[in-house]
Amino acid sequence: MTRATLDFLWSVLPSLLIGFPGGRPGGLALTLILSLAAIGLGFVIALGVGPGRAAGPWPVRAACALYVEFFRGLPLLLLLFVVHVILGGRRLGLDLSPRASALIALTLYASAYQAEILRAGLAVVPDQLVESARLVGGRAWQIYLHVRLSYAVQVMLPAFAGQAITLFKDSAVLVALGVGELMTVTRSALGSDVRNAAYWLPTYLLVGGLYALVAFAISRLAGRLERRQRSGDLLYSLTNY
Amino acid sequence: MKLRHRWFPLFNVVALAVLAACQPAAPGAGQSTYDKVMAAGVVRAGIRFDNPPLSYIDESGNWVGFDVDLANEIARRLGVRIEQVKVDETTRISFLQEGKIDLAVTSMNHTRKRDDAVDFSVTYFWDNQTFLVRQGEYDSLQDLFGKKVALNAGSSAIDAWKKYSAERGGPAPEIVEFTDKVAAVQALRDGAVEGYAEDGVTLLALAAGDPNLVLLPGSINRVQYGIGLPVNDSKWRDTINYTLQELWQDGTYRRIYDRWLGPDAAVTLPLGGEMEVWP
């Protein structure tokens, strides 16, 4: 790697991390903000859709199933265009900005996957656990919230973490709308001068490293969370006595 | 439930078909874009962000270049604020069709095929498309017949090269499409492709930055940039055409051109045409 390459990478690094100077947050910071918001909002939706698909009157089950299959079945890039150009176009009067479209598309995408994970989690809650809760006098909603749901989320933590990492990485397709996140900034920085073609490979390697670094951090964080919860888990301590 | 599952993929197909049927947004329904722009006091200009020296983002994050200056000047003449929207070769047309932008100042070649989907202003930039190759490997466009070449996805050069090659009895060309210009140049350097066709102005900049790359003489396609506009909206198209012609007549166009492509600029391209001015 030559001196000029290092100088170039060093000069674009701040933009890659937090966006161009004087502008709104961009780069990796925006990627993180959008991903975290989408995962959070997606989880809220999944809380309704996941259990809805597992139990409930058949119209609810069918609607939830349709929701999951539709948003899980569309490629993220296509979903992004559907949201930005068709749903968020002037036709329906919404007129969404690229950022808003990006957040909505990522949220819908994340929620469909999270709903499925939650449904799988709910399916493996041991009956004994629910019955014990009922024996000690738990009300239906208490049992649902504190036993079934909390158990489902705990056992499915690795799956949720995997989904979060996937979503974070997949957010790279937002470059198609020029949202200003890491991939867009990379393309702008490289595209600012045709002579930057020489730095193409090292720059994308650096950006790949940034993505991998964050993905690794999420994975470690999830691992730590899992271990901490396990130690406090009654079932776990009984079976691993 | 199990049985019903089988039908969900079908549902996706149906839903997408319905969405596709909505395309394109009812053109010219009601108001002209002119009225919308004037009422809002904002014109939304689609501009590319990785196309130096015509439009790019510099180190301090400013969006600059010939197309950018032109778009800014048009907005100023219309007396409205400009909102710059990032587009690329693949989104500039769909965004126009769906009203996400009011005009596209995107170094877009005026072709009949594109005219089916959007409308164009008068030509505001003249150039030629040719190939960039590695120094010393090829001497003429004929040498590239049947070779693997890189072209921009959605570029008018794709059809132009097929036609050029077919008319001169060349074999069917092998084309690799790139959405990222820098990636295409890298492929050329690495030997993954034998040539890369682009508008002359871009190739000049590329060749100036790398002694190992040269332009082939000749032209596979004339380049005539027009500003992309929503289809069937003559009031708005007139407004843009008149504005461009005024910029040409009072010398503002020439000042902007010389700033980016004149004798003192990093890339020099002699003005290749003359704008038609209606009396």
Average pLDDT over residues B182-188: 87
Residue extent(s) of CATH 3.40.190.10 domains in chain B? 15-127+224-261, 128-222
Dump pLDDT digits (tens) for A22-62: 778 999 999 999 999 999 999 999 999 998 888 888 999 99
- Is A22 close to B60, i.e. CB distance below 8 A? yes
pLDDT at res. B58:
87
Average pLDDT over residues B228-241: 96
Task: Give the C-alpha separation, B83 to A100, whole Å.
Answer: 16
Nearest to A149 by CA among A47, A223, A60: A47
pLDDT at res. B27:
47
pLDDT at res. B7:
55
Q: How many residue pairs bridge chain A and chain B with CB atoms within 8 Å of each other?
A: 125
- Is A69 close to B9, i.e. CB distance below 8 A? yes
DSSP-assigned beta bridge partners for residue B57:
B63
Task: Give the C-alpha separation, B133 to B196, whole Å.
Answer: 7
Report the range out of A153-157, B12-16, B228-232 with the highest average pLDDT.
B228-232
- Is B56 close to A61, i.e. CB distance below 8 A? no
Q: Which positions in chain A touch B185 (Cβ < 8 Å)?
A: 194, 197, 200
pLDDT at res. B144:
94
pLDDT at res. B272:
87
Average pLDDT over residues B214-236: 93
pLDDT at B4 over 70: no
pLDDT at res. B26:
47
Q: For chain A, which residues lie within 8 Å of any Cβ of chain B, measuring from their own Cβ?
A: 11, 15, 19-23, 61-62, 65-66, 69-70, 73-74, 81-82, 84-86, 89-91, 98, 176-178, 180, 184, 187-198, 200-201
> What is the average pLDDT score of chain B?
88
pLDDT at res. B12:
63
Report the range out of A51-65, B116-130, B195-209, B258-272 with the highest average pLDDT.
B116-130
| ipTM here | 0.75
Cβ proximity of A198 and B188 under 8 Å? no
Which positions 46-75 of B are in contact with A (Cβ < 8 Å)? 49-52, 56-61
**Chain length of chain A:** 241
Label residue B13 by pLDDT band (50, 70, 90).
low
Task: Give the C-alpha separation, A129 to A83, whole Å.
Answer: 42
Task: Give the C-alpha separation, A53 to A62, whole Å.
Answer: 7
Dump pLDDT digits (tens) for B137-151: 999 999 999 999 999
- Is B182 close to A196, i.e. CB distance below 8 A? yes
Radius of gyration of chain A (CA): 22
pLDDT at res. B34:
95
* CA-based nearest distance B154→chain A, Å: 14
Question: What three-state secondary structure class fits A15?
Answer: helix
Q: Could you tell me what percent of chain B has a pLDDT over 70? A: 89
Mutate to test the interface with A, among B92, B182, B269 (most CBs of A within 10 A): B182
Query: Residue B107, Cβ neighbours under 10 Å: how many?
Result: 23
Task: Give the C-alpha separation, B144 to B179, whole Å.
Answer: 21
Cβ proximity of B97 and B118 under 8 Å? yes
Task: Give the C-alpha separation, B167 to B100, whole Å.
Answer: 39
Task: Give the C-alpha separation, B269 to B257, whole Å.
Answer: 9
Q: CATH assignment of B128-222?
A: 3.40.190.10
pLDDT at res. A141:
87
Question: What three-state secondary structure class fits B135?
Answer: coil
CATH fold for the domain made of B15-127+224-261: D-Maltodextrin-Binding Protein; domain 2 (3.40.190)
- Is A193 close to B52, i.e. CB distance below 8 A? yes
CATH fold for the domain made of A3-239: MetI-like fold (1.10.3720)
Cβ proximity of B67 and B47 under 8 Å? yes
Q: What is the pLDDT along chain A (241 residues), one digit of tens a residue?
A: 788 899 999 999 999 999 988 778 999 999 999 999 999 999 999 999 998 888 888 999 999 999 999 999 999 999 999 999 888 877 777 888 899 999 999 999 999 999 999 999 999 999 888 888 899 888 888 888 888 888 998 889 999 999 999 999 999 999 999 899 999 999 999 888 777 877 888 999 999 999 999 999 999 998 888 887 765 565 655 555 4
Domain ranges in chain A are 3-239
Label residue B28 by pLDDT band (50, 70, 90).
very low
- Is B25 close to A188, i.e. CB distance below 8 A? no
